[in-house]
Amino acid sequence: MDRSIELGFANIDLERRERTGIAEVIYGEGKSAEQIVQIVRQMYEHGEEHVLITRVDGEKARIINRELEAVDIISNTYDDARIVVAGGGHSPDGVGRIAVVTGGTSDIPVAEEAARTAEFLGNEVDRVYDVGVAGLHRLISKVDIIRSATVVIAIAGMEGALASVVGGLVSAPVIAVPTSVGYGANFGGLSALLAMLNSCASGVSVVNIDNGFGAGYQASLINHTGKK
């Protein structure tokens, strides 16, 4: 039996958690604040008390928080990640920790999307920021933290070399995230994407440009494998 709610502008999948273990996530970009609030309210009324909303900026987030608070739904905004969490995240229950590693400070918005997503899904996260290969000693000084992780998310723009270097230092799976950070020949992250896809390090997989959410979600699946 199909369990969904048709709102005209959205069709909410109420069986997502049963099929995949994780409830539907709301992609906020392109949706109005009012549409997002309606979706959250419907999910709450049907038993989903923890809702993740991604790609929500500034004024839209403030409207969402205000409207949800008016109906007694508590929400938190994480500006760097462009994420709103309604009802709080899930308690940590992963088998280990996730390390989120960035090449530079400019990669942090994508990293925070990955980290906040992973935390919402019940993972403990270590953040290791601004340790790019231009100053390799910075990465080496944090290698013990990175090696202790069950899965590593390596986030970098420019030439995207961080993922290959990390992949050669750890025994855990590495999820590479290319970012659109870089000068003209970076082509909006395409050069980093191609570099990561062509990584010579085994065990490196790649998500799309700036897709911190996808990396955090995938890392959570890996970190919960032993719980199934």
Q: How far apart are CA 68 and CA 92, in angstroms?
A: 25
Residue type, 146: I
Decide if pLDDT at 139 tops 90: yes
Let me know the angle formed at the C-alpha of 158 by 185 and 81, rounded to the nearest 5 degrees.
120
pTM of the prediction?
Answer: 0.93
Secondary structure element (H or E) that encloses residue 129, with its range: none
| Confidence band for 153, pLDDT divided at 50, 70 and 90 | very high
| Confidence band for 82, pLDDT divided at 50, 70 and 90 | very high
> Does CATH place domain 97-227 in 3.40.50.1970?
yes
Q: How far apart are CA 56 and CA 70, in angstroms?
A: 19
Return the residue matching tokens 């995938």.
Answer: 218
Q: Which residues contact 82 (CB under 8 A, 6 or more apart)?
A: 28, 54, 55, 56, 57, 109, 113
Decide if pLDDT at 228 tops 70: no
Q: How far apart are CA 174 and CA 215, in angstroms?
A: 10
CB 124 within 8 A of CB 97: yes
Decide if pLDDT at 150 tops 80: yes
User: Phi first, then psi: what are they for 83, rounded to 5°?
Assistant: -125, 140
Q: How far apart are CA 32 and CA 81, in angstroms?
A: 18
Q: Where in the chain is the domain with CATH 3.40.50.1970?
A: 97-227
- Residues 104-117 have a mean pLDDT of 97
- Residues 139-166 have a mean pLDDT of 96
Decide if pLDDT at 130 tops 70: yes
Q: How far apart are CA 75 and CA 64, in angstroms?
A: 8
Decide if pLDDT at 14 tops 60: yes
CB 96 within 8 A of CB 145: no
Q: What percent of the chain is modeled with pLDDT above 70?
A: 98
Decide if pLDDT at 1 tops 70: no
